[in-house]
Amino acid sequence: MLKGKSAIVTGSTSGIGLGIATALAGQGVSVMLSGFGDQAEIEKTRGRLAAEAGVKVLYDNADMADGAAVAAHVKKAEDAFGGVDILVNNAGIQFVSAVDEFPEAKWHAIQNIILNSSFHAIKAALPGMKRKNWGRIINLVSAHGLVASPFKSAYVSAKHGQIGLTKSVALEVAETEITVNAICPGYVRTPLVEGQIDDQAKAHNLPRDRVIREVILASQPNKRFIEVEEVAALALFLCGEMAKSITGTAIAIDGGWTAR
C-alpha cells in the first residue's frame, strides 16, 4: 500500500528517525533524510539504505531551527519525489536546567527545532497532501508531551505544544484522507541514551544495570527500554490503510509511564 509513496523524516541520521526512515524505505517509500552528524557517515547511511531498499533516499542538511529552511526542505523533497505523502516530524534537542536559570537562547532553540519546525513542515507539506487527498503526518513527541518532569521546562512545553498542534491540524483535515497523529515514546534505546547511561554510571559510580533501572528508567514501570523498531512499527501502522480512522491522537508507547 505504501510502495511508490514518498516521505520526509526529520532528525533521521540516527536513532528513532533513522529507524522510521529505514522501516518506510523497506515498504517501498522514497525518503528524504535530515539531521546532524559526520557527513561521510551520513552519506554512507544514505547509500546503504537506498541500496538495501531499492528506493530513492536523499539527504538535506536543512536547519530545523529556521522556518524558511524547513519550508525549502519540504519543497526540495516535493521536487525530487513529485510530492510528499508522509511527514514525520522527529527533529529535537534537549537541555536540562531549573527554569529560573534556563538560558533564553536554549529555550528558543528547543521551541524552534521541536515545535516551530513541526509547524513550518506541516504548513509546507499540507497543500500537496490536500491536492492528492491523501497524507500521513506523524509528530514524534515523547511521554513528556503527556506528563512533565522537573528541569525540562522548554522540552516539556514544546512537546505539549506538538500534541496541541497534532489535534488542531487533525480536526482541520478530518474530512480528507489525511491523518495527523503523535507518537509519545518513553525511553528508547538509542546511541544517545547509551551514552547517557555511561555518563551516569561514571557520575554516580554505579554499574550500568543499576543506572538503567534506578536512574534512566526510574519513571518507566516495565523497567526496559523501548526499542527503535517498536516505534518504527507503530509509525508504519499509522501510515497504513487500517489506520485511516486514527487521527488527532497521542499514542503512548512508554512501558506504562503515563498510566500512573
Residues identified as active-site: 155
DSSP one-letter string for 35-48: --S-HHHHHHHHHH
Burial 217-254 (b: 16+ CB within 10 A, else e): bebbeeeebbebeebbebbbebbeeebeeebbbbbbbb
- Asked if 91 and 11 count as a contact pair (C-beta separation under 8 A), the reply is yes
> Could you tell me the three cell numbers for 217?
528508567
Q: Which residue in the block uniquely carries the three cell numbers 529552511? A: 69
Closest listed residue to residue 76, CA positions, set 56, 59, 88, 91: 59
Residue 158 is placed in which grid cell?
A: 514544546
CA distances from 185 to 16, 136, 148, 250 (A): 10, 19, 14, 10
